[in-house]
Structure 1
Amino acid sequence: MSLSFQASLFDDLSAEPELEELGGSVTRVELGEGAWLDVRPGWVTNSDALFERLAQRVPWQADKREMYERVVEVPRLVSWFGPGFELPDAVLERAQRDLNDHYGRPKDQVFETAGLCFYRTGDDSVAWHGDRVGRAINRDTMVAIVSVGAARTLSLRPKGGGETKRFPVGHGDLVVMGGSCQRTHEHAILKTKQAVGPRISIQFRPYWKRLGA
């Protein structure tokens, strides 16, 4: 896969990606209604090397979905690794473990799956939504997102209306949405006409069996 990618001035593509400490380096942003967002810029060092490896090694798929009585292409490439699957890079295995250590593995809140999204250009996006838990959005949950590659803007807004908060994420940044965030707020990576490079996001989530199953 060939894409134009501007590496970070602070990264060495020949160096191995590493994880910084979490602990007190994580800043919590209270969003209201029981929702919160944890932010840890630059958690993955030499993250551009990780971007290059994932871009080449991950089995990317172009998904389609039904929308407004027609089938449309999902505007990004995706890949998913379920519970017990080997993740596509050892750094992601460590990231999943460190996240679980940091958040203490509360009941039903252990990070077990990893979904990857490849945003190739500013035309690739994900619309406003809250992540489902099973078949619905009726429980508190956590979603941890690691971003590598060029920065894109993660937008967050209350479902009932209110201020939209924007967080640029890329080059090894970590954000964790928690509490009621998926029920009370929506998030999106919106299309942009600005010249932006490619980005890969890795979303770690707990594994929820379908409700009623």
Structure 2
Amino acid sequence: MTVDFQTSLFDEPATDRVSVGALAGAVQRHPLDRGAWVDVRPGWLRGADELFARLVRDVPWYAERRQMYDRVVDVPRLLCFYGEDDPLPDPALVEARETLSRHYSPELGEPFRTSGLCYYRDGRDSVAWHGDTIGRSRTEDTMVAIVSLGDTRRLSLRPRLGGASISFAMGHGDLLVMGGSCQRTWEHAVLKTSQGVGPRISIQYRPRGVR
């Protein structure tokens, strides 16, 4: 698979070396209601242009079809899921997971174990409103860490019981972590857009038993 992606003007020159930035003192927490919160760290993953190209090329992306009312529809994005015993497709993803685990384990109580990847090819690809509530996250507080590569897309959040939505623009190398009760009390989405956006990869890290 090949892709036409405009590399970042602010990133390092194309290189095999990818590095993660600091988290302590650099993450900005946004408290939500009902015990939910969102952490944001812009530009956390540096040197990400080559990583983006490697993931597009090397990840065994697949398309899904799902039942939607009385018909089966295409899921509007490509996917790949790595369980806790599966080798990740790039060492940079391992480094990111281990760094996130070291920083968040004192609060989370456990490391991140699994990695889900989504490939949004253009503005027509999206993910509908949902919470990651399969497994323990249906009844327990947890965290989902998202690293974004490629063109900027907005991650929107809205309270399940109604109220105003908020959104965060996730650009190349940005990190966003949803924590506390966020998966149970809020929903999130990447909505379709008619703007001329290019491809984006979302890397989601989750603890054991959370989907």
Instruction: Give the TM-score category using the shorter length.
Output: over 0.9
2:149 is matched with 148
Q: Displacement, 1:194?
A: 0.0
The worse-fitting range, judged by mean Cα deviation, of 16-25 and 129-138 is 129-138
TM-score (norm 1): 0.93
Asked if structure 2 preserves the Cα contact closer than 8 Å seen for 1:133 and 1:139, the reply is no
Asked if structure 2 preserves the Cα contact closer than 8 Å seen for 1:109 and 1:142, the reply is no
For residues 32-84 of structure 1, the C-alpha deviation after alignment (integer angstroms, 9 at most, x for no partner) is 11000000000000112111110101000001111112211110000000012
2:116 is matched with 115
Check if 1:62 corresponds to 2:63. yes
For the residue of structure 2 that corresponds to 1:32, the secondary structure is coil
Asked if structure 1 preserves the Cα contact closer than 8 Å seen for 2:155 and 2:190, the reply is yes
2:39 is matched with 38
Give 5+ residue unaligned stretches, structure 2: none
Q: Percent identity among equivalent residues?
A: 56
For the residue of structure 2 that corresponds to 1:171, the secondary structure is coil
Asked if structure 2 preserves the Cα contact closer than 8 Å seen for 1:109 and 1:141, the reply is no
Q: Displacement, 1:104?
A: 2.1
For residues 89-146 of structure 1, the C-alpha deviation after alignment (integer angstroms, 9 at most, x for no partner) is 1011011111110012567642100000000000000000111231872221100000
Equivalent-residue separation in structure 1 for 2:34 and 2:18 (angstroms): 36
The worse-fitting range, judged by mean Cα deviation, of 109-118 and 134-143 is 134-143
Give 5+ residue unaligned stretches, structure 1: none
Asked if structure 2 preserves the Cα contact closer than 8 Å seen for 1:108 and 1:206, the reply is no
For the residue of structure 2 that corresponds to 1:116, the secondary structure is strand
TM-score (norm 2): 0.94
Provide the alpha-carbon RMSD of the alignment.
Answer: 1.7
